[in-house]
Amino acid sequence: MYEIHFDEEAIKFLENLDLKIKKRIFDKILSINKNPFFYLERLTGHGLYKLRIGKYRVICSIENKIVIILLIGLRKNIYNKL
């Protein structure tokens, strides 16, 4: 099992979302703790991974059985923050 940690910026984005969308994103993130490589796609050139949830993207890194959620945002804006 992998541990999941959230960065402050990811938490701030989640706090501003509607409850229904927040629950959908959070449930999907929690589902990756058994085998994150099944759900995540590698981002080329960054050493990071992305998780697609509708029009939202979750950017994370994996280090020593810990998944660190770095950014959460709309797909049209999220890649500009990298």
pLDDT digits (tens, 9 = 90+) for 18-33: 999 999 999 999 999 9
Q: Is residue 82 part of a domain?
A: no
Domain count, the chain: 1
CA-wise closest residue to 7 among 61, 69, 65: 69
Q: Is residue 55 part of a domain?
A: yes
Confidence class of residue 35 from pLDDT cuts 50, 70 and 90? Answer: very high
Type of residue at 77: N
pTM for this one? 0.91
27 strand-pairing partners: none
Q: Residue 30 belongs to what H/E stretch?
A: helix 19-31
16's CB contacts (< 8 A; 6+ apart) are: none
Which tokens is 53 given?
A: 């949830």
d(CA 4, CA 76): 25
What residues make up the domain containing 17?
A: 3-65
